[in-house]
Amino acid sequence: MAATRDIEIPQILPGTGFGYPVAAGARIYGRALVGLNAAGFAVPLGSSSVCFAGIAVEHVDNRDGADAGAIVMVQRDVRAFPVVFAAASIGKDIFAADDDATKIKDSSGGTRIGKLIGQTTIQGGAVRAVVNLGA
């Protein structure tokens, strides 16, 4: 299921930020996964995206705008996702079928978004998958 709200995905290490023009009719939620369509415009990661751009810094709504009617800032960095993988998955590519960053997986069937580089425990004891986005 695609994102329906802003998502909390803690940043582990700072990365590189980029700005992309947003496609007409697109709404991108904060901390959602962002792709680029065939024309090079930012869209929520999913069936209309041809590659992974990064994770949205903030919510951008271009539903009433033309192509390039808004700019979304994205980052490629190291993040702790609320997903647990087997230790054998460390070093594997990570994929996402849509923009919901809470639904990443270590098998194909979506767009490649980075590499699993480890697991960490965050405040409160929750285990998180550490992913190097864009690696």
Per the CB < 8 A criterion, the answer to whether 65 and 24 are in contact is: yes
pTM: 0.86
Q: For residue 98, what are its two tokens?
A: 């849509």
109 vs 89: CA distance, rounded Å: 16
Instruction: Fill in the amino acid letter for 25.
Output: G
pLDDT score, position 55 = 95
Pairing relationship of beta strands 60-62 and 26-28 according to DSSP bridges: antiparallel
Per the CB < 8 A criterion, the answer to whether 71 and 58 are in contact is: no
99 vs 72: CA distance, rounded Å: 14
- Could you give the C-alpha distances from 16 to 10, 57, 116, in angstroms and in order? 15, 11, 18
pLDDT (tens digit, 0 to 9) for every residue of the chain, 135 residues total?
799 989 887 777 777 899 999 999 999 999 999 999 999 999 999 988 899 999 999 999 999 999 999 999 999 999 999 888 999 999 999 999 999 988 899 887 899 999 999 999 877 778 889 899 988
Instruction: Fill in the amino acid letter for 7.
Output: I
42 vs 23: CA distance, rounded Å: 6
Instruction: Fill in the amino acid letter for 102.
Output: T
| String of DSSP letters for 56-101 | ESS-EEETTSPTTSSEEEEEEEEEEES----GGGTTSEEEESSS-G
Structural domains present in the chain: 11-76 (2.40.300.10), 78-133 (no CATH)
pLDDT score, position 8 = 81
Q: For residue 19, what are its two tokens?
A: 């700005």
